[in-house]
Copies of this chain bind each other. A is one copy, B any other.
Amino acid sequence: MGRGTASRVLNGSPHVSLSARSAVLAAVRDLAYVPNAAARALVRRRTDAVALVVTESDERIFGEPYFAAAVRGIGRRLGEAGLQLVLVMARPGGDEGAAQTAQSFLTDQHVDGVLLLSLHAEDPLPELLESRGVPTVCGGSPATTRPRTVVDADNLGGGRSAVQHLVATGRRRLAVLAGPQDMSSGRDRLAGALDAAAEARCPRDAVALAYGDYSEESGRRAMAEVLAAGPPPDGVFAASDLMAVGALRVLREAGLRVPHDVGLVGFDDSPVCRHTDPELTSVHQPVARMGRLMAEVLLARIAGDDVPTETVLPTRLVVRGSA
């Protein structure tokens, strides 16, 4: 029994006789044989694993339903292709050594490709990976203008539709609780909102503005900031549902009723929207589909195919009770 035949059986090649196949399988059982992934990877130059890197604190990764949906979409598609998804956490707070370890893991051909989620502006990772020849796909554009493979939601259009809805329902004193401005999603949602405000002849400096980091806590702070700075708005767009939840709390504490006194729109259309009172009007983004598409595009890159540089998926407003 040659090694060639055994290898063929284990890899499902059709050019093996029935008797040889069963003999190999029997031997595998008897010897409790486990193939060695390293040796296989060494010659095939493939590991059949893909890393998803989330550059975010553990709290946010595990707090945001966003990641759950993205992982589901990614995992499904990868599973269909027989690849294993592994999650690598690269928390910004981590020490130098840990970051180094993670970097080596990603570049040293442990994985066939890398998916990057939740990128912040100065993140060196996309640059580094591309320069090392590791196929990479970003979810959400990195800040740099270098050509990259990116899958993103239409944050601009989403921000725009949120504010358009507020305006269309008679709100005139607007406030935007924007997300982190070192992320494209944060910038785009804000830009879209301001666009729509301008279109509605709402002068830019008449729009109250405060910033957060997508977390509920930051939404509370931003809302409080806006209330402290001037007359209360009658329409608020928060860059994430969590921020909207924080804002809702602060509005209520300030004696303002939603939606009677203030219309409130969030972003993400996450499950929490249905748990607030009133239920939260929010911009839906197809996160699972984005994840799936990211995987799809990465698979194509790994196979060496040409892929579109940037794919943008549509968002849409889901109207509920809060605006």
Contacts and interface: CB of A to CB of B under 8 A. Distances in A.
Interface of A: 32, 34-42, 47-49, 51, 58-59, 61-65, 67-69, 71-72, 75, 79-80, 82-89, 91, 94-95, 97-98, 101-102, 104-105, 107-110, 131-133
A62 B51 contact: no
A108 B65 contact: no
Contacts of A107: 34
B42 A39 contact: yes
Given A71-B58, A72-B58, A88-B84, A36 B79 contact: no
Contacts of A82: 97, 101
A143 to B, nearest CB: 24
A89 B36 CA distance: 22
Given A79-B98, A87-B87, 8 more contacts: A32-B132, A34-B109, A36-B42, A40-B108, A58-B69, A59-B65, A62-B62, A82-B97
Contacts of A32: 131-132
A86 B83 contact: no
Contact of A68 (B37, B47, B63, B79): B63
A189 B132 CA distance: 50
A62 B65 contact: yes
A107 B36 CA distance: 9
A231 to B, nearest CB: 29
A33 to B, nearest CB: 10
Given A58-B72, A98-B79, A131-B32, A49 B110 contact: yes
A91 B68 CA distance: 12
A64 B37 CA distance: 33
Closest 8 CB pairs of A and B: A87-B87, A62-B68, A38-B41, A79-B98, A86-B86, A37-B108, A38-B42, A58-B68
Contacts of A132: 32, 34
A286 to B, nearest CB: 16
Contacts of A64: 62
Contact of A84 (B58, B65, B102): B102
Nearest to A79: B98
A39 B37 CA distance: 10
B71 A37 contact: no
A49 B105 contact: yes
A58 B86 CA distance: 13
